[in-house]
Amino acid sequence: MSEKLWIFDTTLRDGEQVPGCQLNTQEKIVVAKALEELGVDIIEAGFPISSPGDFNSVVEISKAVSNPIICALSRAVEKDIEVAAQALKFAKKGRIHTGIGVSPYHIQYKLRSTPDDIIRRGVAAVKYAKRFVEDVEFYAEDAGRSEPDFLCKIIEEVIKAGATVVNIPDTTGYCLPEQYGGIVANLKNNVPNIDKAIISTHCHNDLGMATANTVAGVQQGARQVEVTINGIGERAGNTSMEEVVMAIKCHQSIPVHTDIQTPRIYKTSRLVSKLMNMPVQPNKAIVGRNAFAHSSGIHQDGVLKHRENYEIIDPKEVGVEESSIVLTARSGRAALKHHLDALGVELEGDALREVYEAFLILADSKRDIGRKDLMGLVGKYMDESNFIELGEVSYSSNGEIQAKVSLTIGEEAHQAVSSGNGPVDAVLKAIEKIVKPQVDLEEFLIQAITHGSDDVAKVHMRLIMGEKPYYGFSSNTDIVLASAQAFVDALNKIPVKEYTTA
């Protein structure tokens, strides 16, 4: 029978240490509630003594959520611990997370101390924290580079002092999986009272090993993992929650289970990305834009025949509606036919062969093949009445931003005027006045392609309609125009009968 693996989410503490990604208290509460719905067991809500804002966030998160344990970080300093306890006064279940550096680097160069003094200070911190809460976690900072015998000794002593969880951080992301797993195994085998506490992993991604090290720790007996949504965190980041959870779900040979509601993973990922203004890299495992996208003809054909030919995870398991079959010069006939079927054009035999050959020539010269391109290839086979073409785009500011947009849909011309918070918002709202799909603009990214005041901006958009994603792309020196073009590009990929016009 599998054991429970406790999910300790530190998105709001370690994850928020990413430069430029700080959240205010209300935003942290939104994330905390999403983490509760996701099913995390412990939320590390902040480092209360570090700032009044962090203190207040721990207080308010403690009030806002009920099920997870709320954890507050402290150093092995009495004042830190007192402030952490004060911040947790409204928590239904509170935990103080205290600790100290244990590697030779930290002992000698950071703390300018001795091993015996480090043990004394660690034990004293745990004992002091136990005055305020029963649940005390001890972190042995930089355990990944510590001396094995010393690590065993300090872990034994803090458990005697009352630590309920012992955290073994690979603070600098130094370890290889076999090394980190070996550290956990050494503790299991050589700390006499290790059964009195839960071993926790806390791995950083400096060498790209965070998930692998965390899983190795679990395989050797760790039963709590410290993770962040999207793997955000100091430097190269922390262990990605979604990667660990899905690795364990895929590999039933690892005898643990979690309470994570995996269909909520993608939604939570996008929430954190949006609030922290930190885009998820397209090739990010589990939640990246390309995680379930296929462009190779061989892969596309295999996935269309049987998903598990090339996907070990059903996209729906993590909250993604379906895989993406992306048309490129490497796509095969199966992928092209898949897209043509979605447009209501059913081609077989010579007709499909003719269109496919023309498609390959076009795909060699274009990065992204959209509905307009397909219509050009198969125009004689389909109804073009719903194709949207962007015309005039203009905007002005007289106290408020107003935009005017002209669209041609099929052979009909349309115009609309709208106001907004800015020119991009106003233009998109004007387009929505004409075209009435029930879409949500879930992702909107602007990237500079060139350098200088005449930069070319590349805009990427992801629209959601009926839980299905539709992507739009464009590039232009005018960001407003590029945004309008990308929006229309995405709308044109929605199947013909899915939207109406005003």
Give the residue numbers of the binding site for Mn(2+): 14, 202, 204, 238
Q: Give the Å distances, CA to CA, from 66 to 35, 87, 294, 312.
A: 11, 16, 41, 34
Which residues are within 8 A (CB) of 210 and not within 5 positions of it... i.e. 6 or more apart?
170, 173, 203, 204, 231, 237, 238, 239, 240
Q: Are 257 and 39 in contact (CB under 8 A)?
A: no
The residue among 104, 84, 86 whose CA lies nearest residue 96 is 84
Residue among 343, 302, 252, 265 at smallest CA distance from 35? 265
DSSP calls for 386-431? T-EEEEEEEEEESSSEEEEEEEEETTEEEEEEEEESSHHHHHHHHH
Bridge partners for 257 per DSSP: 4
Cβ pair 395, 425 in contact under 8 A: no
Give SS3 for 460.
Answer: strand
What CA–CA distance (Å, rounded) separates 323 from 292? Answer: 5
Q: What is the dihedral of CA 23, 64, 51, 158, to 10 degrees?
A: -120
User: Which residues are bridge partners to 225 per DSSP?
Assistant: 7, 201
DSSP 339-388: HHHHTT----HHHHHHHHHHHHHHHTT-S---HHHHHHHHGGGS--TT-E
Question: Residue 418: CB partners within 8 Å, gap ≥ 6?
Answer: 402, 403, 405, 426, 427, 429, 430, 432, 433
Joined together, the tokens standing for residue 295 give 């462009």
CA angle 329, 330, 334 (to 5 degrees): 105
Q: How many CB atoms lie within 10 A of CB 174?
A: 18
Question: Which residue ranges are tagged as binding site?
Answer: 14, 202, 204, 238
| 395 φ/ψ angles, rounded to the nearest 5 degrees | -150, 155
DSSP string, 253-278: TS-EE----GGGHHHHHHHHHHHTT-
**How many Cβ atoms from other residues are within 10 Å of residue 263's Cβ?**
13
Q: What are the phi and psi torsion angles at 88 (to 5°)?
A: -90, 10
Angle at 472 between CA 447 and CA 334, to 5 degrees: 125
By DSSP bridging, strand 457-465 and strand 468-476 are antiparallel
